[in-house]
Structure 1
Amino acid sequence: MNLKKYVELSSDYKSNSQKTRVFTEPFVAENFYCPCCGASVIGRKNNDKVRDFDCSKCNENYELKSKQGKSLGKIVPDGAYNSMLERIENNSNPNFYFLNYDKENFDVINFCAVPNYFFTPNIIIPRKKGIPNRPNYIMCNIDISGIPNSGKIFYIKDKKIIDKSKVLEDWNKTSFLKESHSVNSKGWILDTLKCIEKLEKTDFTLNDMYQFEKELKLKHSQNNNIQAKIRQQLQILRDKNYLSFTNRGNYKLK
């Protein structure tokens, strides 16, 4: 998919960030859909600082972050640090769209959605400096490398368009995380998902997961029984139909 026909919409703008916003927002509104229900998305015309799109059917909303380059990268600039943390704590942060495109021919390389429940405070990084004339107003970056792969729902990956049914399936596979209102409990589930992904296999054992004990202890220093917590998280993932127990101490992703 290509952005070129939308670029002329930004001709009256000087800032590169403004230009990118002006031509990527209509592109998304015209070509994509809500990954939760499949309905069209509607661009907001009032320059809402928190979200750029509303679903035309369900209650989901989305903020778009776009950049030039061959990959999405690890770090994406965002807005006010304290405001973002507050929204995460209150479960009021938006879902995100992330898009990157080739700066020479404007081909879209990757476009994905990330559900808001995949955001935790540890992936929100304060920038070292504030903004001019407001030194105490700290902006932030989003460390998207800290988001499990299961939380990155691709519409386009490496220029390949993903079937709509697959997009909807991938989004709803982890929708049970909406139930995790506690940042700590959600953090444990997300860290467990990251560990499972690092194994890079569909079938794995409890001993495979125990190898992450030290890593998880560093992230959850107040917990003194990491192995028991790992077993608990695997039980939750089984109950939510994310994986299955094949036999004692053995698991399989669905």
Structure 2
Amino acid sequence: MQLNDQLVTEYKSESQRARIMTEYWVGSHIACPRCQGTLTPLSNNARGADFSCANCTQRFQLKSYRGKSKSKLIGAEYRTTLKTHLSEDAPDLLVLRFQRDLTVNEVIHYRKDDICEHHILPRKPLGPNARRAGWQGCMLDLSSIPGTMIFPLIH
């Protein structure tokens, strides 16, 4: 299955293009991994989540990337990510991997209960000359989190 690049013709940023295409694809092709309900996109300003299940109300954060399988993914701001994933209403994580030709390879579901503080790794803060000096991102270490592949479907 392919991502739809017709959705992003006016965008120049590769990360914006990927975000829009992958969020649209998940909303169109993936059911809630917990209850098979419909995943509804949240507003672009929703913190820490991209979808909510219309049936069970579980929230989901989508991370996507192009290329080979990875055990670590770039996350957002460290403290915000930590706070989000350790909160009562933490989102589950969906990781979508696609290729240069926009073919979707896989979507893996990670349950929020399996994501712990030691899976969220701080990155070095940006230096004093950076536009966002002091800002600290994070990496999500997926290597020891049990994930369930939900696409392609396993029979």
- Hey, what does 2:15 align to over in structure 1? 17
Q: Is the aligned partner of 1:66 residue 2:67?
A: no
CA contact (8 A) 2:85 2:91 kept: no
Q: Is the aligned partner of 1:136 residue 2:128?
A: no
Q: How well do the aligned residues superpose, as a CA RMSD in angstroms?
A: 1.7
- Hey, what does 1:99 align to over in structure 2? 96
- Cα offset for 1:40? 1.0
Higher strand proportion (structure 1 or 2) = 2
Partner Cα distance (1:58, 1:43) in 2: 14
Q: Structure 2 counterpart of 1:161, which letter?
A: L
Structure scoring higher RCO (CA < 8 A, sep ≥ 6) equals 2
Matches within 5 A, 1:146-161: 146-147=144-145, 151-156=146-151, 160-161=152-153
Unaligned runs of 5+ in 2: none
2:150 partner SS: strand
Q: Structure 2 counterpart of 1:133, which letter?
A: R
1:18 partner SS: helix
If the length of structure 1 is used for normalisation, what is the TM-score?
A: 0.56
- Hey, what does 1:28 align to over in structure 2? 26
CA contact (8 A) 2:48 2:84 kept: no
The correspondence for 1:115, drawn from 111, 118, 122, is 111
- Cα offset for 1:87? 2.8
CA contact (8 A) 1:70 1:109 kept: no
Please identify the structure whose Cα radius of gyration is greater.
1
Partner Cα distance (1:145, 1:60) in 2: 23
Partner Cα distance (2:50, 2:153) in 1: 22
- Hey, what does 2:84 align to over in structure 1? 87
- Cα offset for 1:59? 1.7
- Hey, what does 1:250 align to over in structure 2? none
Q: Is the aligned partner of 1:162 residue 2:143?
A: no
Higher helix proportion (structure 1 or 2) = 1
Q: Is the aligned partner of 1:124 residue 2:116?
A: no
- Hey, what does 1:47 align to over in structure 2? 45
If the length of structure 2 is used for normalisation, what is the TM-score?
A: 0.90
Partner Cα distance (1:46, 1:128) in 2: 27
CA contact (8 A) 1:91 1:117 kept: no
- Cα offset for 1:34? 0.5
